[in-house]
């Protein structure tokens, strides 16, 4: 009967992996539902990852005439466009960590706080067109790495 303990441990590991996979998949489904809901009322909507420290949180980002939204099942947040001081597009996060090849970072600064959103390659050009780079008070274009 010494194998019963081994089977139990393996079963618990498999169960934990299945729960993690289910929760991750369900979270992505819920973000997709938010994207679908926002498409009816927004100029632009896409999937992204909100980068906070080392974490990347899946979110739906959207833009209407005067507000930028980022949300997922656990958070709903927004910026009035008038409150965004700077907009940048870069190939690395504010922490200096590079993003995957082809992905871009949409960086928003508002009152000294920085918010990074990792955009999928096929969404970047639409975001640049809808929310062009800009710097605070100097009239110069914001950094846009190639």
Cβ–Cβ contacts within 10 Å for residue 108, how many?
20
User: Does residue 138 belong to any structural domain of this protein?
Assistant: no
User: Does residue 140 belong to any structural domain of this protein?
Assistant: no
SS3 for 137? Answer: coil
Closest CA to 119 of 81, 84, 93, 83: 93
CATH number at residue 100: 2.30.29.30
pLDDT in tens, the chain (146 residues): 677 777 777 777 766 666 655 555 555 566 677 677 777 778 899 999 999 888 888 999 999 999 999 998 888 889 899 999 999 999 999 888 989 999 999 999 998 899 999 999 999 999 999 999 988 765 544 454 44
Q: SS3 breakdown of the chain: % helix, strand, coil, rounded to 5?
A: 35, 35, 30
The model carries a pTM of 0.72
User: Does residue 64 belong to any structural domain of this protein?
Assistant: yes
**CB-based contact 55:70 (threshold 8 Å):** no
Please state whether beta strands 67-72 and 113-119 pair in parallel, antiparallel, or not at all (unpaired).
unpaired
Q: Which run of H or of E encompasses 142?
A: none
> Tokens 């710097």, residue?
135
pLDDT of residue 142: 47
User: Does residue 88 belong to any structural domain of this protein?
Assistant: yes
Number of domains making up the chain? 1
User: Does residue 84 belong to any structural domain of this protein?
Assistant: yes
pLDDT of residue 38: 72
Closest CA to 64 of 42, 40, 39: 42
User: Does residue 145 belong to any structural domain of this protein?
Assistant: no
User: Does residue 137 belong to any structural domain of this protein?
Assistant: no
Range of the domain at 114: 3-130
User: Does residue 13 belong to any structural domain of this protein?
Assistant: yes
């Amino acid at each position: 009967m010494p194998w019963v303990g081994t089977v139990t441990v393996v079963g618990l590991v498999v169960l934990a992996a299945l729960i993690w996979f289910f929760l991750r998949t369900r979270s992505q489904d819920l973000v997709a539902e938010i994207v679908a809901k926002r498409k009816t009322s927004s100029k632009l909507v896409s999937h992204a990852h909100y980068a906070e420290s080392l974490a990347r949180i899946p979110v739906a980002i959207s833009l209407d005439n005067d507000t930028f939204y980022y949300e997922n099942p656990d958070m709903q947040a927004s910026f009035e466009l008038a409150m965004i001081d700077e907009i940048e597009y870069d190939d690395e996060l504010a922490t200096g960590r590079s993003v995957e090849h082809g992905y871009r970072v949409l960086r928003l600064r508002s009152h000294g706080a920085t918010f990074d959103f990792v955009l999928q390659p096929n969404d970047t050009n639409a975001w640049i067109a809808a929310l062009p780079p800009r710097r605070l008070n100097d009239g110069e274009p914001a950094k846009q790495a190639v």
